[in-house]
Amino acid sequence: MIRIICTAILGLVMFFPVANAEEKSLNIISCRSGTVTMLSASAEVTVYSYDFKGIDQGAKGDKTWDNFTHRCMGITRIMGGQTLAKGYCKYMDPDGDFFMVAYDGLMGDKPLPWEFIQGTGKWKGIKGGGTTIGITRGKPIVEGTYQGCIEITGKYELPKYSSELELGNILMKAHEAKQKIPVVSAHNPNLDVKGAYRVQKAYVEQRLSRDQIAGFKAGLCTKAAQKSFGLYAPAAGVLFASGKNTVSPIIEKSAFKRLLVETEIGFMVAKPITQPLKDVSELYGYIQTVMPVIELPDVGFAGKPRGVDIIAGNVASAQFIAGKEREFRGLDLNSIFVTLTLDGEVVNIGRGTDSMEDQWKAALWLINNIVEQGWKIEPGQIFITGALPKAIPGKPGKYVADFERLGKISFEIK
């Protein structure tokens, strides 16, 4: 009877977002525990209900499905040598979006069929179905309960939304009109990280018709920041030559929708990089100098962004101030303390290890990410490795950023 229940509940499935209505395969391992309530048990008819809750993991190394949670409720009838199962399962992703699955059919030698009936958020419009089968179960730890795991297989598709090129066009039009950064996931709820980087490139390449690349930037470099936006890694973006400021500039706050100030460390590239670097030791040979940097991102989004919106919007890249270059050999970047003052009062204190716990590892990650996105890294470009330790609101006044032996940067916001 427990095996019957196990099969009957397999109908709950998870799926990964795609940009187009393209059919995809899925394979999920779903483990759960719950209660079984017997309504009637006899030689002629047996009827029972169940209420299971559990957690899921992607099979074959696909982390897409990891840490989904689910609940299944249903009823099983055994009569005349046949077992009929009917029920519903709800699977919820870590962001709180969910989808529902229904199953209704005879169980026996063949797996139980299921189909999608509802989706919310990024799963809205999901279609498809498949089968479920039990893979393991244990002796109930408490009488009247069930503990076991099932395998869910099937196919699914999501509605076609705006293409990555169209999303890049949306971002470009907003930039030209000096509007807030669009939340592009509103146009494509199924946008994933890889797709977001392709949107970013489509957007940036349009801007490069009238601008140049000055370097690249990392953002959301702490686990806490990544988690708050639903990411599992930092984000990378492009620095434009038009956004580079010289020593002691005056920054017009009116040019920003929502100005932030970040103290960062920059790395000047010495020679072209065309493929990923193996380690920090190899990276040393490609760096010419290091320098203090103030980044001035504009996080003026038109709505509440997800991590993919931040990536697609070029990680809010706007302006930056590069300080005097320094020889990096013999300089411990991780031990450098940075103190930022506004009109003489300390407003931020950071250390080199605040970004990914190591400046050189942060630079290595950023460079390899940029290579992966297909950008060409040229001598003279600057790589900045993230806020030390955080971004602060850009308020009017006179700022001084003291990077100890790396130097100082002074600027004013009006």
Q: Please indicate, yes or no, whether residues 141 and 85 belong to a single structural domain of this protein.
A: yes
Using only the alpha carbons of the chain, give its radius of gyration: 27
The pLDDT assigned to 24 comes to: 83
Share above pLDDT 90 across residues of the chain, in percent, rounded to a whole number: 78
The pLDDT assigned to 158 comes to: 82
Residue 246 has pLDDT above 90, yes or no: no
Share above pLDDT 70 across residues of the chain, in percent, rounded to a whole number: 94
Q: Please indicate, yes or no, whether residues 123 and 230 belong to a single structural domain of this protein.
A: no
The pLDDT assigned to 8 comes to: 36
Q: Please indicate, yes or no, whether residues 86 and 180 belong to a single structural domain of this protein.
A: no
Return the bridge partners of 86, or none: 75, 104
Q: Please indicate, yes or no, whether residues 363 and 248 belong to a single structural domain of this protein.
A: yes
Q: How many domains does the chain have?
A: 2
Residue 155 has pLDDT above 50, yes or no: yes
Closest CA to 204 of 233, 256, 243, 230: 243
Alpha-helix runs per DSSP H in 159-192: 164-176
Residue 108 has pLDDT above 80, yes or no: no
The mean pLDDT value for 32-50 works out to: 94
Return the bridge partners of 31, or none: 55, 149
Closest CA to 37 of 52, 45, 49, 47: 49
Residue 134 has pLDDT above 90, yes or no: no
Greater confidence (95 vs 325) lies with: 325
CATH number of the domain that residue 137 is part of: 2.40.350.10
Q: Which of 109, 137, 157 is the last residue of a domain?
A: 157
The mean pLDDT value for 290-298 works out to: 98
Residue 12 has pLDDT above 60, yes or no: no
Cβ atoms 55, 147 nearer than 8 A: no
Worst-scoring range by mean pLDDT, 19-23, 262-266, 288-292?
19-23
Cβ atoms 106, 129 nearer than 8 A: no
The enclosing H or E element of 179 equals none
Q: Please indicate, yes or no, whether residues 254 and 310 belong to a single structural domain of this protein.
A: yes
Q: What is the pLDDT of residues 88-101, one digit of tens each?
A: 999 999 888 899 99
The pLDDT assigned to 22 comes to: 72
Q: Which of 92, 123, 157 is the last residue of a domain?
A: 157
The pLDDT assigned to 64 comes to: 78
Cβ atoms 13, 130 nearer than 8 A: yes
Residue-number span of the structural domain to which 131 is assigned: 2-157
In SS3 terms, 370-388 reads as: HHHCCCCECCCCEEECCCC
Confidence of residue 229 (pLDDT cuts 50, 70, 90): very high
Cα–Cα distance, 73 to 56 (Å, whole number)? 17
The mean pLDDT value for 21-33 works out to: 86
How many other CB atoms are found less than 10 A from the CB of residue 184? 31
Cα–Cα distance, 116 to 235 (Å, whole number)? 33
Distance from the first to the final alpha carbon of the chain = 74
Q: What is the DSSP string of 224-250?
A: HHHHHTT-SS-EEEEEEGGGEE-SS-E
Q: Please indicate, yes or no, whether residues 381 and 257 belong to a single structural domain of this protein.
A: yes
Q: What Cα–Cα distance (Å) separates residue 209 from each residue in 180, 202, 203, 376?
A: 21, 12, 11, 16
Confidence of residue 21 (pLDDT cuts 50, 70, 90): low
Cα–Cα distance, 207 to 192 (Å, whole number)? 23
Confidence of residue 19 (pLDDT cuts 50, 70, 90): very low
The mean pLDDT value for 151-164 works out to: 86
Cα–Cα distance, 75 to 83 (Å, whole number)? 11
The pLDDT assigned to 7 comes to: 36
The mean pLDDT value for 219-237 works out to: 95
The pLDDT assigned to 261 comes to: 98
Q: Please indicate, yes or no, whether residues 140 and 47 belong to a single structural domain of this protein.
A: yes
The pLDDT assigned to 4 comes to: 37
The pLDDT assigned to 20 comes to: 46
Q: Please indicate, yes or no, whether residues 65 and 39 belong to a single structural domain of this protein.
A: yes
Q: What 3-state class would DSSP assign to 135? A: strand
Q: Please indicate, yes or no, whether residues 363 and 395 belong to a single structural domain of this protein.
A: yes
Q: Please indicate, yes or no, whether residues 140 and 180 belong to a single structural domain of this protein.
A: no
The mean pLDDT value for 130-142 works out to: 90
Q: Please indicate, yes or no, whether residues 181 and 212 belong to a single structural domain of this protein.
A: yes
Q: What 3-state class would DSSP assign to 121? A: helix
Q: Please indicate, yes or no, whether residues 259 and 128 belong to a single structural domain of this protein.
A: no
Q: Which of 114, 131, 157 is the last residue of a domain?
A: 157
Q: What is the pTM of this model?
A: 0.67
Cα–Cα distance, 59 to 151 (Å, whole number)? 9
